[in-house]
Amino acid sequence: MFDDFWGEPWLPPRETFTGFWPQIDMTQTDKEVKVCAEIPGVDAKDIDVSVEDGTLTIRGEKKYEREENDKGQYRMERSYGSFERAIRLPTEVDESKAKSEFKKDVLRLTLPKRPGALSRRKKIPVA
């Protein structure tokens, strides 16, 4: 019940979703947007990151690792294949100054906000 409540409505239920879906954390400061994505079992060369029209897209492929097992049963629960995750960014970012780091199966992105995006925020007093 709680999985359905906290889950993302555009995803199929977990029982039927067999693909790979990176989990993310996104934080925003006055100067930048930071995104951390867990992408276990994927090499950095198999990850593609882009920003277009205010949407961050992380694509890649988790390659199938074949194990020979001639004795007894074999069970495979890990997911393989292509993945894509598109996240609408909360503000305009300067793609040309973006930085990334991929260590220990975690992709860390730092996306500086555009100078114009910094001044667009205005606090409105509540009367």
Bridging pattern class, strands 23-28 and 32-38: antiparallel
| DSSP alpha helix (H) spans, the chain | 2-6, 115-119
pTM over cut 0.95: no
Could you read off the pLDDT of 44-98 as tens digits, one per residue? Answer: 999 999 999 999 999 998 877 666 666 666 666 667 788 999 999 999 999 999 9
CATH number for 18-65+72-119 (one of 2.60.40.790, 3.40.1360.10, 2.170.190.11, 2.60.40.150): it is: 2.60.40.790
Query: Cα 110 to the chain's mean position, in Å?
Result: 13
Q: Which residues contact 92 (CB under 8 A, 6 or more apart)?
A: 54, 113, 114, 116, 117
Angle made by CA atoms 101, 102, 107, in degrees to the nearest 5: 90
The CB density around residue 59, as the number of other CB atoms within 10 Å, is: 15
* Tens digit of each residue's pLDDT (9 = 90 or more) over 78-92: 677 889 999 999 999
